[in-house]
């Protein structure tokens, strides 16, 4: 029986029942629906297989020989909190159903059951799991408030980058997206995921420069309670949470050298261990990464392993700087202005000729991200129907009161202005970092702090 609704994504399913015929029946039924099934007869084997493999759904018998399936439910959920559990039993009662739900079960299936009933329950919980993944993805998008997800472009170089992303989306190839900060590498990575066969699964992001080496390892691979000071509970890690989906490693050039062998092993074998645990786990996760730094220079300096570089760089997509796709500046600015007009409950605004000229001739060191910030600011400050030059930041027009050394302004303001001016004059963030005498991770944080 096929239930109505959108197509059901294949699930990874665990069957735990001490009766061979039940295990066989459930396996045949679920595999016939396109799901991947692992069937075991006891709680010990169930926990062993769930440690090394993530499951979307589990069918657990209420009585497993001398043990209770109810006791297995919280243990399975401790391994994978997102797993949906269906209790199956020949001893159906309201009390057992209520107790199963209290312990974390999602549904209840009394014996004897038909293949149609199994398919109906599996489809219902598959849709629930899919909706949860969509909610997570939408929350991430809303949190970042990306109005510039429109990848349409008149620039041939940008069109080639988008076309290549569409071409490789359907594969599981590891992709390295390169380009200056603010060019939209993260937007392209998210689009690549949505164009892929993994679109119904999670898309998770880890910003490598934002965490220390210890926290980054925990964020990626997870940890068990007590693994280090402050580890008060188990943490599955982003790789486990991304099961079946895509993990995006932003600014991969900032990945600490000590973590690189562990990431390389995962890319090669799909295996990893949580911090504080000797159990080897596997995960089906596609890895995308992005960088704005010179990885070849990092190789020569010994800051990046050569084998990891080639494993990450199976497919390389280069995203052009905004100044190299000048034909897109005005159309993109106008789309952003329309977005922020709606967001601020304003009638549609337009750019005055002086503002358009300023936008077209600006160097845009912060690329699309900077354009977004400039347009949002203008939409808020503009009281009329046209955004004029006066609504743009001071850097767009000569100012007699430009910040100078010795002015009565904060050090942060001096630093912000200096970084901005250096960025305008250089061709890469690596060059800017060298001029400023700071590393790229520090420059990344300063640009984020100042909105550059």
What's the confidence (pLDDT) of residue 426?
A: 67
Neighbours of 417 (CB within 10 A): 18
Indicate if 56 and 172 belong to the same structural domain: no
pLDDT confidence of residue 139: 55
Q: pLDDT (tens digit, 9 = 90+) per residue, 199-241? A: 888 999 999 988 888 899 999 999 988 888 777 788 889 999 9
Residue 130 pLDDT more than 90? no
Residues 83-96, mean pLDDT to the nearest whole number: 80
Please count the CA atoms within 13 angstroms of the CA of 144 that sit on its side-chain side.
Answer: 17
- Residue 83's pLDDT band (cuts 50, 70, 90): confident
My answer on whether 250 and 340 are in the same domain is no
CATH number, position 42 = 3.40.50.2300
Tell me the two tokens of residue 409: 């302004």
Is there a single domain that holds both residue 311 and residue 343? no
pLDDT per residue as tens digits for the range 242-286: 999 999 999 999 999 999 999 999 999 999 999 998 889 999 999
If asked whether residues 152 and 251 sit together in one domain, one would say yes
d(CA 334, CA 351): 8
Check: CB of residue 88 under 8 Å from CB of residue 60. yes
pLDDT in tens, 142-171: 444 555 456 889 999 999 999 999 999 999
**Same domain membership, residue 228 and residue 308:** yes
Cβ of 181: how many Cβ atoms within 10 Å?
A: 26
- DSSP 3-state assignment of 294? coil
For the chain, give the percent of residues with pLDDT over 70. 90
Classify residue 70 as exposed, middle or buried by CB count within 10 Å of its CB (0-12, 13-18, 19+): buried
One domain for residues 175 and 85? no
Task: Report residue 3's pLDDT band, with 50, 70 and 90 as the boundaries.
Answer: very low
Name 304's Cβ contacts closer than 8 Å, sequence gap at least 6: 253, 255, 257, 260, 295, 298
Q: What angle, rounded to 10 degrees, do the helices at 156-169 and 185-194 form? A: 40
Confidence label for 198 from pLDDT (cuts 50, 70 and 90) = very high
| CATH code, 426 | 1.10.8.60
Cα separation, 69 vs 164, in Å, equals 49
In tens, the pLDDT along 329-361 reads 999 999 999 888 888 888 889 999 999 999 998
Would the pLDDT of 2 be above 50?
no
Question: Do 344 and 445 sit in the same domain of this protein?
Answer: yes
The pLDDT tens digits for 22-75 are 999 999 989 988 898 999 999 999 998 888 788 889 999 988 888 888 889 988
- Residue 53's pLDDT is 81
Confidence check: pLDDT of 120 > 80: yes
Bridge partners of 39, per DSSP, are 15
The whole-chain average pLDDT of the chain stands at: 86
Q: Report whether pLDDT(1) > 50.
A: no
Instruction: Tell me, yes or no, whether 208 and 223 share the same domain.
Output: yes
Distance between CA atoms of 26 and 28, rounded to whole angstroms?
Answer: 6
Q: Is residue 92 over pLDDT 70?
A: no
3-state secondary structure of 439: coil
**Are 403 and 434 in a shared domain?**
yes
What domain range includes position 344? 324-450
336 and 421 belong to one structural domain: yes
Are 220 and 101 members of one domain? Answer: no
302, 318, 334: which is the final residue of a domain?
A: 318
What is the total count of domains within the chain? 3
410 CB burial (10 A radius; 0-12, 13-18, 19+): exposed
Provide the β-strand partners of residue 246. Answer: 203, 286
Neighbours of 2 (CB within 10 A): 10
Q: Is 307 in contact with 265 (CB distance < 8 Å)?
A: no
Instruction: Please state, in angstroms and as integers, the Cα–Cα distance from residue 42 to each residue in 16, 19, 67, 73, 104, following that order.
Output: 6, 10, 8, 13, 19
10 Å Cβ neighbour count for 29?
20
pLDDT digits (tens, 9 = 90+) for 359-385: 998 889 889 989 999 999 999 998 888
Both 122 and 167 in a single domain? no
Per residue in 300-328, pLDDT (tens digit) is 999 999 999 999 999 999 999 999 999 99
Q: Tell me the whole-structure pTM to 2 decimals.
A: 0.66
Residue 140 within any structural domain of the chain: no
> Phi and psi dihedrals of 247, rounded to 5?
-110, 125
């Amino acid at each position: 029986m096929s239930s109505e609704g959108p197509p059901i994504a294949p699930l990874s399913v665990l069957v735990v029942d001490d009766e061979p015929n039940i295990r066989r029946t459930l396996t045949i039924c679920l595999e016939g629906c396109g799901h991947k099934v692992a069937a075991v007869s006891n709680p010990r084997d169930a926990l062993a297989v769930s440690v090394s493999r993530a499951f979307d759904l589990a069918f657990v018998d209420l009585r497993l020989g001398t043990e209770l399936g109810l006791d297995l439910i919280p243990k399975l959920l401790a391994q994978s909190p997102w797993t949906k559990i269906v209790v199956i039993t020949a001893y159906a009662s309201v009390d057992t159903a209520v107790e199963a739900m209290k312990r974390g079960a999602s549904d209840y299936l009394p014996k004897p059951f038909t293949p149609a009933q199994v398919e109906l329950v599996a489809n219902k919980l598959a849709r629930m799991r899919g909706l949860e993944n969509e909610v997570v993805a939408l929350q991430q998008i809303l949190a970042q408030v990306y109005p510039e997800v429109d990848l349409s472009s008149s620039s041939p170089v940008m069109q080639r980058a988008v076309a290549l992303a569409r071409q490789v989306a359907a594969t599981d190839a590891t992709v390295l997206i390169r380009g200056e900060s603010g060019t939209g590498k993260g937007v392209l990575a998210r689009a690549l995921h949505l164009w892929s066969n993994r679109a119904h699964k999670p898309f998770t992001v880890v910003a490598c420069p934002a965490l220390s080496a210890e926290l980054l390892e925990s964020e990626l691979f997870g940890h068990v309670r007590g693994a280090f000071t402050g580890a008060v509970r188990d943490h599955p890690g982003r790789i486990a949470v991304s099961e079946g989906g895509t993990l995006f490693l932003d600014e991969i050039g900032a990945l600490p050298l000590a973590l690189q062998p562990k990431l390389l092993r995962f890319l090669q074998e799909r295996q990893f261990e949580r911090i504080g645990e000797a159990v080897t786990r596997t995960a089906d996760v596609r890895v995308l990464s992005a960088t704005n730094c010179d990885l070849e220079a990092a190789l020569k300096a010994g800051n990046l392993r050569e084998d990891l570089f080639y494993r990450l760089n199976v497919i390389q997509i280069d995203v052009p700087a905004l100044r190299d796709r000048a034909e897109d500046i005005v159309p993109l600015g106008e789309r952003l202005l329309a977005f922020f007009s709606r967001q601020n409950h304003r009638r549609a605004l337009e750019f005055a000729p002086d503002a358009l000229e300023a936008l077209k001739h600006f160097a845009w060191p912060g690329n699309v991200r900077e354009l977004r910030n400039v347009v949002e600011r203008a939409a808020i400050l503009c009281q009329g129907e046209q955004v004029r030059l006066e609504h743009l930041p001071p850097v767009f027009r000569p100012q007699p009161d430009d910040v100078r050394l010795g002015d009565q302004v904060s050090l942060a303001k001096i630093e912000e202005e200096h970084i901005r001016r250096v960025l305008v004059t250089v061709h890469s963030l690596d060059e800017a970092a060298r001029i400023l005498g700071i590393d790229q991770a520090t420059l990344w944080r300063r640009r984020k702090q100042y909105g550059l």
